[in-house]
Amino acid sequence: MKIKLEFPKNFLWGSATASYQVEGGIYNNDWAQAADTTGKVPHAGESTDHYNRYKADFDLAKSLGHNAHRISIEWSRIEPEEGKFNLAEIEHYKKVIRALKARGLTPLVTLWHFTSPIWFNDKGGFYQKDAPKIFARYCAFVVSALRNEIADDVFVATMNEPIVWSQNAWFSGNWPPFKKTVWAFLRVVKNLMRSHNAAYDEIKKATPQVNVGLVKNNMHFTADWKPWNKIAAWFMRWFWNHRFLKATYKKCDHIGLNYYFHTHFYKPFGMPLGTPKNDMGWNLDPAGLYYVLMELRQYNKPVYVTEAGLADRNDTYRTEYIRGLVQSSHRAIVDGLDLRGFMYWSLLDNFEWAHGYDQEFGLVHVNRKTQERIVRPSALVYKTICESNTLTLE
Ligand code: BGC
């Protein structure tokens, strides 16, 4: 028997990208600088050349049944020197947003996705006292410059995954500026909270009608029966999933959720999850998305899944994983969550931060030598879901 899970009318279906990961030709941000000067991380270089190929890429997204698409704006292009804004780059992003709308793709625009201008980093990045003020000025400038493009039907997020970024850049030292200090990490997290809140206020002063939120990575934390593992799961649920949101949700018109992980505490002894793993070695548990979504009910805001996906070069698990994620999303809606959209990460294989181009998350494979786009079979299964606004269970 076939069961059809229908989604609400006007549900947004699409995929997500981020500026430094797809655009190419970005040389003026902290990541590019760290790649050039330290060699500790790779450089994105030409990437997928999306900066020049965005129209064709959006044609592709439309042909895959999407009705929405998430992009980010590269701060280092807009404000290459402190306080000096590059209007030619604003024009570029205007064209990008118009190109999305012309294809019937509702834009979700993130203003900061992990990369900052070199001058901002040189001054201390998000560690410095003035970070909220500087960040809010940038955000308000962009939104007000794009006001005609994003007036009432575009979703703006101030920032992407503040805790993931702080953890990698200031705690485990994997990403620039490669710091490993707990106190600095905690201060950066605080400053990011303040930065979001300040940006929200500044944006709303200039353009009150714009729908502003933030994008948060939350995980499904579980534990076996051992009390210390239960405490670890409880602590991480608070620290990772809720602390940032509790400090910012009042200044969010919506919440964007990124889901990748089910983290199960079982050591010492006990059993790991036993789910299949993706190419990054991450557990694949699409059912976990349901629990993470339901934790957001307490904030009483419209929610969008702004990223969920997997690295899977051979497309072995992608179809089933996407179907599982979509099923979890539907279950959350049935159970009362105001969920309004789902963006797969990512449209294209792209620059996966410290992993460079080795990890392939795309619905569409990108040939690194020719830039040819090759649609993966799973993208066509997702297309059927998007176009019918329905998931059919066999
Ligand atoms: C980030 C993306 C990244 C993806 C896969 C998310 O944490 O927002 O930039 O590519 O995960 O690792």
Q: What is the pLDDT along the chain (394 residues), one digit of tens a residue?
A: 899 999 999 999 999 999 999 999 999 999 999 999 999 999 999 999 999 999 999 999 999 999 999 999 999 999 999 999 999 999 999 999 999 999 999 999 999 999 999 999 999 999 999 999 999 999 999 999 999 998 778 999 999 999 999 999 999 999 999 999 999 999 999 999 999 999 999 999 999 999 999 999 999 999 999 999 999 999 999 999 999 999 999 999 999 999 999 999 999 888 889 899 999 999 999 999 999 999 999 999 999 999 999 999 999 999 999 999 999 999 999 999 999 999 999 999 999 999 999 999 999 999 999 999 999 999 999 999 999 999 999 8
User: 389 C-alpha to center of ligand 1: Å?
Assistant: 26
What's this model's pTM, rounded to 2 decimal places?
0.98
Ligand 1 contact, 115 CB (< 6 A):
no
Residue with tokens 């797809």: 22
Rounded to 10°, the helix 87-102/50-63 angle is 10
**What does the alpha-carbon distance between residue 191 and residue 312 come to, in Å, rounded to a whole number?**
35
Return the number of other C-beta atoms located less than 10 Å from residue 293's C-beta: 23
User: 168 C-alpha to center of ligand 1: Å?
Assistant: 12
**What does the alpha-carbon distance between residue 236 and residue 311 come to, in Å, rounded to a whole number?**
24
For the chain, give percent helix, strand, coil, nearest 5.
Answer: 45, 20, 35
DSSP for 126-163 reads: GGSTTHHHHHHHHHHHHHHHTHHHHTTT-EEEEEE-HH
Ligand 1 contact, 160 CB (< 6 A):
yes
Ligand 1 contact, 72 CB (< 6 A):
no
Quote the tokens at residue 210: 């714009």
> How open is the CA angle 323-347-259, to the nearest 5 degrees?
55
Ligand 1 contact, 18 CB (< 6 A):
yes
Residue minimizing CA distance to atom 12 of ligand 1:
352
Calculate the alpha carbon distances from 83 to 48, 61, 78, 79, 255 in Å. 29, 35, 10, 7, 29
Work out which ligand 1 atom sits closest to the CA atom of 353: 10
Work out which ligand 1 atom sits closest to the CA atom of 346: 10
> What residue type is 380 in one-letter code?
L
Ligand 1 contact, 164 CB (< 6 A):
yes
Residue with tokens 């998000």: 126
196-222 burial string, b = 16+ CB within 10 Å, else e? bbbbbebbbeebeebbbbbbbbbbbbb
Least Cα distance to 276 among 314, 233, 241, 240 occurs for: 314
Burial of residue 1, with CB atoms counted within 10 A of its CB: 0-12 exposed, 13-18 middle, 19 or more buried: exposed
Calculate the alpha carbon distances from 175 to 38, 74, 172, 237 in Å. 11, 17, 8, 24
